[in-house]
């Protein structure tokens, strides 16, 4: 007790309430400081030489992957210019202080330091959000305010209106906005993928004995937005089971929090939604986790971090700094040992406004599935920032498959315009290096079927259920 009531401590106010001066018990104060404490601990971890080395290696690996998606390409390039020059070019986008100063000297200071970044309060936004309390933005010399946004359509509008400098997106959104689907065509770029995996199909408890999707005719499902991986994955999953998602079931666009409320009310039978709302449905005892999207496509992208092409062109240094901050956060979020503390940092009402217990289950991958079992899936949600352009091509094939895009689509042109790999290529050119490596295409396996971005049209034609002609 003396910790709380210490009349001999010069710094303590002499009153019978909390030492912070506010009218609550010291126990309440303790709960409030937990988040601060976790942030402090994470910040300390981020300042160790060990993490810095890890983070640099992580970002370097991401960049090298981005630059050389194909092994032969990488070997050829490294043989041609040598490891040293290649590393110097990559280092120019690394968050190493001295190199950063050097890069800034060469190219001028940050064009804009006060930035407004939007996010939707879901765990997908973790790196973007945690970079704020952990001071990753300020370390890059940026004064960022991360602003909670009421919905995806609003994110789109605020990006087009330039109210936000950069934002959390659903990864198909920048493609759709750039193509003018459901909005004015405004060129947008994906800088990094925020998270991979991390969604699930959640069903109402009354369906716990009806797990075969073939029997789901007439079901009503919630999805967060038309141009979302959630929509495309759910449609894919249903179509694989022989259901036509346009005629056999109803798909409704519902904000995630309302998905849980609607599930409770029995208005929908299930949803493919972002976490933490899958886990929240379990926590609130209204639903169970039927399948993780990880089991449909392991490593699928979900949300992205991006901005408008105009912003990048006007503020290249600011963008590079922002990019470094978010990559740093992704490196930290990637380490499982940090996840428990991250859950504490992003739980308060300022960020996700969710029970810490729920976030912890989502991020740690050890979770209650709603059917009485504890499951242990460490990569239930993960953070791999690499924006493979092949992923963009897949999204485009699905947009075409379900009739969001009509006519011919030049998959590769759109993918390469929107999914920015990094500005490392530009830096290489600045250093006078000839750079020939191609764009980043790789094959993916989705529900056991291989997707080869080089044969996108054949892939599209191979589906029995499809709206594409």
Partner 1 sequence: MKTASLNLRAAVVSLLIFVCFIGIWQLATTGPSIGGSSAGMTAEEIEYAKMMGKDPGAEKSSGFPPPIEVAKASWAHLSDPFYDKGPNDKGIGIQLAHSLGRVGLGFLLAMAVAIPVGFLIGMSPLMRKAFDPFVQVLKPISPLAWMPLALYTLKDSDVSGIFVIFICSVWPMLINTAFGVSAVKREWLNVASTLEVNPLRKAFQVILPAAAPTILTGMRISMGIAWLVIVAAEMLVGGTGVGYFVWNEWNNLSLTNVIFAVLLIGVVGMLLDLMFAQLQKAVTYVE
Does residue 410 bind partner 1 (CB under 8 A)? no
The minimum distance between CB 115 and partner 1, in angstroms, equals: 12
Is 339 a binding residue for partner 1 by CB under 8 A? The answer is no
Q: Which residues contact 304 (CB under 8 A, 6 or more apart)?
A: 168, 169, 170, 171, 173, 174, 190, 191, 192, 193, 194, 387
Give least dist CB 452 to partner 1, A: 40
For partner 1, which residue of 76, 158, 334, 425 counts as binding (CB under 8 A)?
158
The verdict on 429 binding partner 1 (CB under 8 A) reads no
Provide the b/e sequence for 375-404 (b: ≥16 CB within 10 Å): eeeeebbbbbbbbbbbbbbbbbbbbbbbeb
Which residue stretch of 42-50, 245-253, 366-374, 396-404 sits at the interface with partner 1 (rule: CB under 8 A)?
366-374
Q: How far is CA 231 from CA 122, 268, 459, in A?
A: 16, 15, 19
Indicate the SS3 state at residue 464: coil
Among 48, 107, 143, 147, binds partner 1 (CB under 8 A): 147
d(CA 231, CA 336): 28
Using CB under 8 A as the binding rule, whether residue 187 contacts partner 1 is answered as no
Phi, psi of 349 (to 5 degrees): -65, -20
> Least distance in Å: CB of 373 to partner 1?
8
Smallest separation (angstroms) from partner 1 to the CB of 337: 20
- Tell me: does residue 331 bind partner 1 (CB under 8 A): no
Burial class (CB in 10 A: 0-12, 13-18, 19+), 350: middle
- Give yes or no for residue 351 binding partner 1 (CB under 8 A): yes
Helix %, strand %, coil % for the chain, to 5? 45, 15, 40
CB-based contact 72:438 (threshold 8 Å): no
Return the range that interacts with partner 1 (CB under 8 A); candidates 92-100, 278-286, 303-311, 317-325.
278-286
Binding residues among 116-145 for partner 1 as defined by CB under 8 A: 121, 145
Q: Residue 173 and residue 469: Cα distance in Å, rounded?
A: 24
Q: Is 43 in the site for partner 1 (CB under 8 A)?
A: no
By the rule CB under 8 A, 161 interacts with partner 1: yes
Q: How far apart are CA 391 and CA 379, in angstroms?
A: 19
Site string for partner 1, 232-271 (x = CB under 8 A): -----------------------xxxx-xx----------
Identify the three-state secondary structure at position 232. Answer: helix
Task: Mark the segment that binds partner 1 (CB under 8 A) among 277-285, 288-296, 423-431, 460-468.
Answer: 277-285
Contact 246, 402 (CB under 8 A): yes
CB closer to partner 1 out of 82 and 180: 180
Asked if residue 149 binds partner 1 (CB under 8 A), the reply is: yes
**Closest distance of CB 205 from partner 1, Å:** 13
Give CA–CA dist 123/274, Å, rounded: 8
- Tell whether residue 21 is a contact of partner 1 (CB under 8 A): no
63-102 residues in contact with partner 1 (CB under 8 A) are: none
Q: Pick from 374, 458, 464, 469 the residue near partner 1 by CB under 8 A.
A: 374
Contact 221, 251 (CB under 8 A): yes
From residue 22 to residue 41, what is the string marking binding to partner 1 with x (rule CB under 8 A)? xxx-----------------
- Point out which span in 83-91, 200-208, 275-283, 289-297 binds partner 1 (CB under 8 A): 275-283
Nearest of 62, 64, 57 to residue 89 by alpha carbon:
64
Q: How many CB atoms lie within 10 A of CB 328?
A: 26
Can you give the binding site for partner 1, defined by CB under 8 A?
Answer: 22-24, 121, 145-151, 154, 157-158, 160-163, 255-258, 260-261, 280, 282-285, 348-351, 353-355, 357, 361, 367-368, 372-374
């Amino acid at each position: 007790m003396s910790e709380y009531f210490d009349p001999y401590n010069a710094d303590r106010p002499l009153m019978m309430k909390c030492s912070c001066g506010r009218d609550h018990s010291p126990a309440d104060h303790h709960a409030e400081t937990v988040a601060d404490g976790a942030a402090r601990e994470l910040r300390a971890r981020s300042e160790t030489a060990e993490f810095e080395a890890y983070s640099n290696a992580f970002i370097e690996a991401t960049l090298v992957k981005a630059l050389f998606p194909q092994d032969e390409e990488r070997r050829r390039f490294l043989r041609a210019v040598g490891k040293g020059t290649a590393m110097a070019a990559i280092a120019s986008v690394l968050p190493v202080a001295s190199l950063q100063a050097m890069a800034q000297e060469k190219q001028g200071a940050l064009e804009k330091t006060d930035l407004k970044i939007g996010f939707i309060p879901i765990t997908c936004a973790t790196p973007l959000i945690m970079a704020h309390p952990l001071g990753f933005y300020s370390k890059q010399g940026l004064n960022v305010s991360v602003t909670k946004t009421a919905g995806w359509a609003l994110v789109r509008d605020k990006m087009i209106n330039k109210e936000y400098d950069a934002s959390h997106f659903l990864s198909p959104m920048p493609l759709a906005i750039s193509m003018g689907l459901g909005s004015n065509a405004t060129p947008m770029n994906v800088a990094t993928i925020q998270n991979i995996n991390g969604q699930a199909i959640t069903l109402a408890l009354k369906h716990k004995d009806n797990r075969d999707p073939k029997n789901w005719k007439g079901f009503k499902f919630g999805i967060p937005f038309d141009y979302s991986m959630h929509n495309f994955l759910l449609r894919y999953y249903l179509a694989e089971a022989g259901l036509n998602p346009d005629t056999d079931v109803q798909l409704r666009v519902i904000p995630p929090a309302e998905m849980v409320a609607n599930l409770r009310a029995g208005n929908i039978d299930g949803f493919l939604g972002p976490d933490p709302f899958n886990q929240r449905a379990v926590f609130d005892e209204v639903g169970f986790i039927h399948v993780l999207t990880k089991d449909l496509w392991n490593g699928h992208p979900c949300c992205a971090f991006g901005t408008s092409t105009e912003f990048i062109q006007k503020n290249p240094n600011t963008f590079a700094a922002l990019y470094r901050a978010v990559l740093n956060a992704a490196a930290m979020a990637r380490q499982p040992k940090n996840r428990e503390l991250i859950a504490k940092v992003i739980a308060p009402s300022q960020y996700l406004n969710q029970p810490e217990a729920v976030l912890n289950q989502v991020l740690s991958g050890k979770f209650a599935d709603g059917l009485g079992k504890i499951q242990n899936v460490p990569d239930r949600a993960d953070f791999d920032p690499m924006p493979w352009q092949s992923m963009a091509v897949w999204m485009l094939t699905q947009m075409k498959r379900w009739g969001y895009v009509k006519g011919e689509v030049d998959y590769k042109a759109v993918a390469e315009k929107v999914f920015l790999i990094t500005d490392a290529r530009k830096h290489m050119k600045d250093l006078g290096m000839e750079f020939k490596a191609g764009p980043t295409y790789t094959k993916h396996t989705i529900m056991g079927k291989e997707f080869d971005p080089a044969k996108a049209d054949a892939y599209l034609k191979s589906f029995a259920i499809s709206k594409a002609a």
